[in-house]
Amino acid sequence: MKKSATKTRDQGASQQKTRSNDRFKSYLDNHKRVARESWLRLLRNPISNLMTWLVIGIALSLPGGLYIALGNLESISEHWDGDARISLFAQQSIAEEDLRKLIKKLQLRSDVASVSYISPTEALNNFQRQSGFGNVLENLTNNPLPAVLVISPQIQRGEAVEALFNELKAMPQIDQAILDLEWVQRLHKIMKLGQRFTITLAFLLSVGVLLVIGNTIRLAIENRRDEIIIVKLVGGTNAFVRRPFLYTGLWYGFGGGVMAWLIIMFALQALSKPVAELAGLYQSQFQLQGLGIADSLLLWFASSLLGLTGAWLAASHHIAKIEPR
Amino acid sequence: MIEFKQVNKRYESGQDALKNLSFSIDRGEMAFLTGHSGAGKSTLLKLIMLMERPTSGQVIINQQDLKNCSSRKIPALRRDIGVVFQNHQLLFDRTVFENVALPLVIAGYSQRDIGRRVRAALDKVGLLHKEKQIPIALSGGEQQRVGIARAVVNKPTILLADEPTGNLDPELSSEIMQLFEQFNQVGVTILIASHDLSLIARLPHRMLTLRQGQLLNTPGASL
């Protein structure tokens, strides 16, 4: 007995200097084991953990859903952007010849894609056809409508179109100008506001998720207080004690992310049919876009990171306070 | 190996737990620490494990002055000291094997080494056949032996025990003491706090007796 014990002692001394890659491997093994154990520990209390996941999931699905709504609005309005038109109403007094010159001049501009001309007569005919006032208008002695130049800007993006619009509007031959884009721009502004709102909401709800996870982890630490003391008594570092709780937080965050993903997907599923019907009424092929692979991965990554951070904050604060006495 | 130099410990409550305490225990020695409850036995052990710090004086363990041991280094210090607790301090949701393996897992041993060493330690305390059981299913004596296996599994140079036979009958107590003597024979320095005088008086080891935080000069088989 004595001899064998001496032998193992010597082996022990030499094994204290285990090679560094051995150490690293057992460190990784420990991470794997702790990750699995904390996952199984969560599954042991399925109901209460499902609740936590749902709370996180609901909190994250709100900004996630808004993000998707904005993405869809953007894809709609991008399509409308292409229709930006500037309508120029010429002065009544302008001579036909001057108008021709103006059209030529406009066509030569590099920022103008095309110019179409609607003469007053044409305009009146159109108006008679579409307005239903045909008979009344026939009695007019002279045509009150101005000549109209419809300009398609070369560059269809907001500021360029606006600059062109302001320049054309200031020309002396032009009485009035209308930018068809105006309401699209308003939509863009509203969407920008929506993005800000989404970011603020995401931030606030993320803080909420951090607090939820932090509090859950705090309770878990309190529940395992005796175990923490034992581990510290036999030489466990704070990092070692923290590790299972960090993984627990990670799993809470990840599970919450999956919940949020499911909630968003169900909501989209429920909305897709009415949206398609509505789009059909506008002769549009528009379809709701859901979360792509990249967005889904981002959602899971972000929620896992939130879980980890929340657990980190709670664990580093509370574990240091638990010392054997 | 374990050296106290004029150590005082006063708790915040104003109670003087240890007063001007000086002694040393040599490498490979086995000694008993006795005294009535409240005499300062637990405080003395806590100072060695850095669960408490002295109010004044020096505690030197393995040539290391614990004054220089920052709280960051405490875990490393504790890995070199095996401790057996009166109330066992076992994890009741883990198997015997996992309980004994804990210090090795903490120290980062490979799975293979852990398996070998845990079984060697369990074999030593005669519980190899119960490695898969949960501690709650074991008797008090068996639980204490699991605690001992855990304390020695990492081959510490120092083994401390706080009333290791506290709740055990005389026969089991004497078995536990034999176990400690076996570890001592292979070179482990051992300090056992116990008030079971009838048991330790029969054993040929030095006795440190505390009374009101001070050491009494007691005749003992000093090495």
Predicted confidence band of residue A182 (pLDDT cuts 50, 70, 90): low
Nearest-CA distance from B51 to chain A in Å?
Answer: 6
Residue of A157, A161, A313, A294 whose CA lies nearest to A249:
A313
Task: Tell me the whole-structure pTM to 2 decimals.
Answer: 0.75
- Predicted confidence at residue A115, as pLDDT, reads 87
Band of the pLDDT at A191, cuts 50, 70, 90? confident
Q: Which residue has the higher pLDDT, A24 or A62?
A: A62
pLDDT recorded at residue A200 = 93
- Count of pairs with CB atoms under 8 A, one residue in A, one in B: 80
Looking at residue A273, what is its pLDDT? 86
Share above pLDDT 70 across residues of chain A, in percent, rounded to a whole number: 90
Domains of chain A: 30-79+186-319 (no CATH), 84-179 (3.30.70.3040)
pLDDT score for A8: 43
Are A234 and B91 within 8 A, CB to CB?
Answer: no
Question: Is some CB atom of chain A closer than 8 A to the CB atom of B73?
Answer: no
Between B110, B113, B150, which is nearest A234 by CB? B150
Position A6 scores a pLDDT of: 42
Q: Do A26 and B155 touch (CB under 8 A)?
A: no
pLDDT for residue B184 = 93
| Whole-number Å distance between alpha carbons of B178 and B158 | 17
Instruction: Give chain A's mean pLDDT.
Output: 84
State the smallest CA–CA distance between residue A56 and chain B in angstroms: 29
Q: Tell me how close the Cα of B114 comes to any Cα of chain A, in angstroms.
A: 10
Q: What pLDDT does residue B27 have?
A: 92
A200 touches chain B (CB under 8 A): no
Residues of chain B with pLDDT under 70: 217-223
> Going edge to edge, which strands form the sheet with A148-153?
A112-118, A148-153, A86-90, A174-179
User: What is the side-by-side strand order in the sheet with B56-61?
Assistant: B16-25, B2-10, B56-61, B64-65
Chain B residue numbers with beta carbons less than 8 Å from the beta carbon of A6 are 186-187
Instruction: With CB atoms and an 8 Å threshold, state whether A230 touches B89.
Output: yes
Q: A236 touching B, CB under 8 A? A: yes
Question: Which ranges of chain A would DSSP assign to H, the alpha helix?
Answer: 2-15, 20-44, 46-81, 96-108, 120-131, 134-138, 158-169, 182-223, 225-233, 238-281, 293-319
Rounded to an integer, the average pLDDT of A10-14 is 45
Say yes or no to pLDDT of A288 above 70. Answer: yes
Please provide the CATH number assigned to the domain covering B27-42+71-216: 3.40.50.300
Q: Is A127 on the interface with B (CB under 8 A)?
A: no
Q: Is the pLDDT of residue A10 over 50?
A: no
